[in-house]
Chains A and B, each alone.
Chain A
Amino acid sequence: NAGVTQTPKFRVLKTGQSMTLLCAQDMNHEYMYWYRQDPGMGLRLIHYSVGEGTTAKGEVPDGYNVSRLKKQNFLLGLESAAPSQTSVYFCASSGVGRRTGGDYNEQFFGPGTRLTVL
């Protein structure tokens, strides 16, 4: 019963490099989300998915791509990292399933990934 997990926990990139962040959930949730958290800015939604094979843009999607090939996984990609993408990235999931009591509302967050782009 791991809940929501994220890989890696920390990463340092150079400008222009690419990387993929992995989010996994074992609660059979339909909805998954990627947020970035910057000081004084709260949590801003990057992309989200309402089911396997579907994705949608959030508030700040530029520079990121996502894929949801399996229901339990949601990948966030940075094709050409920029210093402005230095942030803490949180994945979350929600939906009917274990530990949710039939409620789509509560979002369960992963532990976060701290990314630094030099």
Chain B
Amino acid sequence: GENVEQHPSTLSVQEGDSAVIKCTYSDSASNYFPWYKQELGKRPQLIIDIRSNVGEKKDQRIAVTLNKTAKHFSLHITETQPEDSAVYFCAARPGSQGNLIFGKGTKLSVKP
């Protein structure tokens, strides 16, 4: 089955710097890759997603890139702000199913 690896597990940056979180997946049939943000004590919420027929997608300060050949995708956050501090999860959807397989999460801390 699909396996998703996420790195790093923790990331600390200064306010205004960029943050990059990377994920790899194992199932070449996976076709959908979302990123979720979970603030402390809250539910995960979708922040951006990308489909397998697209290489990059941007939404204001966040962007996601996908390399299908290498089977990895990354989340980029520019001009980080303290409110970006949270746990971020990547996920992949195996081609034959509707469910998602999640990475183990990255705890991002943005220091003012």
Contact = CB atoms under 8 A, between A and B. Distances in A.
Contacts, number: 49
Contact of B104 (A41, A105, A112): A41
Interface of B: 1, 6, 9, 32, 34, 42-46, 49, 89, 91, 93, 98-105
B99 A42 contact: no
B34, B46, B100 interface centre (most CB from chain A within 10 Å): B100
A33 B32 CA distance: 17
Interface of A: 31, 33, 35, 40-45, 48, 50, 58-59, 90, 94, 104-107, 109-112
Max count, chain A CB within 10 A of own CB: residue among B9, B44, B93: B44
B43 A109 contact: yes
Nearest to A114: B41
Contact of B44 (A31, A45, A50, A109): A109
Contact of A105 (B6, B32, B43, B102): B32
